[in-house]
C-alpha cells in the first residue's frame, strides 16, 4: 500500500512539474525517492541525561518511542554552541571553514556567509516545499541572512538565540514573526511552535515533498514553563531542574502533536524524522550532561556529545544503535542521499553520507572530525582522529592554548589525560589541527555579548518581564 501511495505521489508530482516546465523551465521529474519527506526536530541546550531513553528522570515518552522504533545515534556530535552547530547543519561544512564560530547576537552586522549554499536550497531545487518553524540564529541584522532568503518558503519563529518564552522578547525587543512581519500574540513559545508546525502539516499538499525544520528554543534559558507542567515535577527538589524538566516534557508533547499531524495527513510512512540537540546542556541552568564532562560552550564531551536519533519504520531498524562517530555536518549529505537528491557541491563538504551505513550497515572509513567555537579571543576545539580525542582550550594567551589527550572510546568521561604519556601523538594531532582550513571568524568586528548573566541575558535563570521598548527585530532588519 505504501509503495502504491508513493508511486501515486511521484506520478502526480511529475505531471505537475511537466505543466510548470512549459512556463518556466525550472523543474525536472523527481526520481523515485526512498524517503519523500524529511522532518527535523532540534532541542536547544538539551543535555545527554535529559531524555528518558538515557535514563533521565525527565519524562520524554514521544522521544523515547522514536528511539525504540528507530536508530539511536550513540556518538552524535554537535558544536559547543548553537550558531556553529546550525551553520554546520545547514551547509554540511565545518564552522572553521565558514567562520561561524560565535553565536550571532541581534546587534551583529552579519550572518552565515551568503556564499554558502544551504540545506533548504538543495531541497527547494529538487521540488520540495521547505518550511522552518522556531529558532533561526544565523543572522538577524539583514533580511538577506533571514530564512526566506536562504531557501525556506515559510518561516515562523525568532531570529535570535533565545527569547522570553512567554513575551517573545530578546533584549527588550519583540523577536517573533511570520514571514518577516512581527506577530504579537500570547502563548508559550514551545506550544506556538508546535501549533504552527501542525498547521503547516495539515495544510500541506501530500503530493509535494516536504522538508520541515522545527527548531524549538526549549529548554534554553530563561527557565519558563506552564505552572501545571512544573507541578508534574514536584518530586524534583532542585527548583531550576524542576522547571527545566517541565520545559523538556512540554517540548516532547509538542513533538507528539506534530507526529500525530503527520500521521493524520498520511505522511508518516515515507517521512524520515530526526531529533537532536544543538549542543550540550547548561548545567548551571538545570541541565544534566552526565556521565560526560562539563557542559555547553566547551569542547569536552558534555558540551558536544548530544542525544540524537533517526526514525523511519521499515527502512531504519527499530531499536538499533549506530555506534560510529557522527557529526552534525553529516546531516546534509545524509538527508540528500535518503531522498535520492543528486547535486554538485559548490564548495567542499566536511560531512559525509551516512545513509548506507544507517540502512544497510556499510562500513564507513574512519575520518577526522573537528568541533569548534571561538570566544572573540581564542579557539576551543575538539579533534577526533581514530581512537584519539585532542581537546584544545584557551590558555593565558592566544599563542599558548592548553591541550589534553584521551583515548575517547575507553575513556568517554575524559578522566585520564594522556598528553604527557603520548607526546608523539599529541604533537601529531596538534599539527593536524593547525593545518585545518580556516576562514575568518564571522562577527569578530562586532561587540561581544554585553552581559551573559544579567536580566534578560541568555544565561539568566529568571526571565526579563519588562515590557519591550525597542523596535521589533523583524521590522528593524536592514533591507538595503
d(CA 139, CA 143): 9
d(CA 404, CA 433): 13
Q: Where are the alpha helices (DSSP H) in 221-354?
A: 227-231, 239-264, 301-304, 331-338
Q: Which one-letter DSSP state was computed for residue 446?
A: S
d(CA 256, CA 79): 27
Residue 12: is it exposed, middle or buried by C-beta count within 10 angstroms (0-12/13-18/19+)? middle
133 has which bridge partners?
156, 214
d(CA 20, CA 29): 11
Distances in Å between the Cα of 192 and the Cα atoms of 134, 176, 255 are: 9, 11, 12
129 has which bridge partners?
210
d(CA 120, CA 113): 15
d(CA 432, CA 453): 36
Query: Which backbone phi and psi does 231 adopt, to 5 degrees?
Result: -65, -25
d(CA 36, CA 214): 17
Active site residues: 82, 137
d(CA 382, CA 373): 9
Query: CB–CB of 400/356 below 8 Å?
Result: no
Query: CB–CB of 174/164 below 8 Å?
Result: no
Q: How many residues does the chain have?
A: 480
73 has which bridge partners?
322
Rg over alpha carbons for the chain, rounded to the nearest Å, is 22
Cell of 459: 544565561
d(CA 129, CA 135): 19
Q: Which one-letter DSSP state was computed for residue 364?
A: P
d(CA 147, CA 163): 18
135 has which bridge partners?
158
Amino acid at each position: 500500500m505504501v509503495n502504491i501511495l508513493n508511486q501515486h505521489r511521484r506520478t502526480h508530482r511529475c505531471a505537475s512539474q511537466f505543466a510548470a516546465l512549459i512556463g518556466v523551465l525550472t523543474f525536472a521529474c523527481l526520481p523515485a525517492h526512498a524517503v519523500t519527506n524529511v522532518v527535523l526536530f532540534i532541542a536547544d541546550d538539551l543535555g545527554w541525561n535529559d531524555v528518558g531513553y538515557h535514563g533521565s528522570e525527565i519524562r520524554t515518552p514521544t522521544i523515547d518511542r522514536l528511539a525504540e522504533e528507530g536508530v539511536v545515534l550513540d556518538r552524535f556530535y554537535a558544536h559547543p554552541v548553537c550558531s556553529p552547530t546550525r551553520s554546520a547543519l545547514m551547509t554540511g561544512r565545518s564552522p572553521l571553514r565558514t567562520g561561524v564560530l560565535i553565536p550571532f547576537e541581534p546587534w551583529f552586522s552579519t550572518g552565515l556567509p551568503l556564499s554558502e549554499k544551504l540545506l533548504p536550497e538543495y531541497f527547494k531545487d529538487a521540488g520540495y516545499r521547505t518550511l522552518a518553524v522556531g529558532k533561526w540564529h544565523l543572522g538577524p541584522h539583514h533580511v538577506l541572512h533571514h530564512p526566506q532568503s536562504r531557501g525556506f518558503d515559510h518561516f515562523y519563529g525568532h531570529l535570535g538565540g533565545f527569547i522570553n518564552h512567554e513575551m517573545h522578547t530578546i533584549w527588550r525587543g519583540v523577536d517573533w514573526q511570520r514571514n518577516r512581519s512581527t506577530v504579537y500574540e500570547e502563548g508559550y513559545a514551545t506550544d506556538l511552535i508546535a501549533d504552527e508546525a501542525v498547521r503547516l502539516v495539515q495544510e500541506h499538499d501530500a503530493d509535494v515533498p516536504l522538508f520541515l525544520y522545527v527548531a524549538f528554543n526549549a529548554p534554553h534559558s530563561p527557565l519558563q514553563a506552564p505552572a501545571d507542567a512544573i507541578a508534574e515535577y514536584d518530586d524534583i527538589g532542585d527548583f531550576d531542574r524542576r522547571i527545566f524538566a517541565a520545559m523538556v516534557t512540554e517540548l516532547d508533547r509538542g513533538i507528539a502533536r506534530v507526529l500525530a499531524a503527520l500521521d493524520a495527513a498520511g505522511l508518516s510512512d515515507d517521512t524520515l524524522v530526526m531529533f537532536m540537540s544543538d549542543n550540550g546542556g547548561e548545567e548551571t541552568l538545570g541541565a544534566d550532561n552526565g556521565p560526560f564532562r562539563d557542559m555547553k560552550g566547551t569542547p569536552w564531551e558534555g558540551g558536544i556529545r548530544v542525544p540524537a536519533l533517526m526514525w523511519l519504520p521499515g527502512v531504519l531498524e527499530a531499536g538499533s544503535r549506530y555506534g560510529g562517530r557522527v557529526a552534525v555536518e553529516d546531516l546534509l549529505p545524509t538527508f540528500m542521499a535518503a531522498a535520492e537528491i543528486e547535486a554538485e557541491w559548490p564548495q567542499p563538504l566536511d560531512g559525509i553520507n551516512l545513509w548506507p551505513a544507517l540502512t544497510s550497515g556499510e562500513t564507513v572509513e574512519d575520518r577526522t572530525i573537528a568541533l569548534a567555537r571561538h570566544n572573540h579571543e581564542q579557539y576551543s576545539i575538539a579533534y577526533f582522529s581514530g581512537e584519539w580525542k585532542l581537546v584544545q582550550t584557551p590558555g593565558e594567551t592566544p599563542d599558548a592554548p592548553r591541550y589534553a589527550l584521551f583515548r575517547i572510546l575507553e575513556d568517554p568521561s575524559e578522566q585520564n589525560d594522556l598528553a604527557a604519556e603520548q607526546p608523539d601523538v599529541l604533537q601529531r594531532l596538534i599539527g593536524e589541527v593547525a593545518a585545518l582550513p580556516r576562514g575568518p571568524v564571522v562577527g569578530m568586528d562586532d561587540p561581544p555579548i554585553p552581559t551573559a548573566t544579567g536580566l534578560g541575558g541568555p544565561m539568566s535563570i529568571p526571565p526579563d518581564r519588562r515590557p519591550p521598548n525597542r523596535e521589533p527585530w523583524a521590522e528593524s532588519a536592514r533591507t538595503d
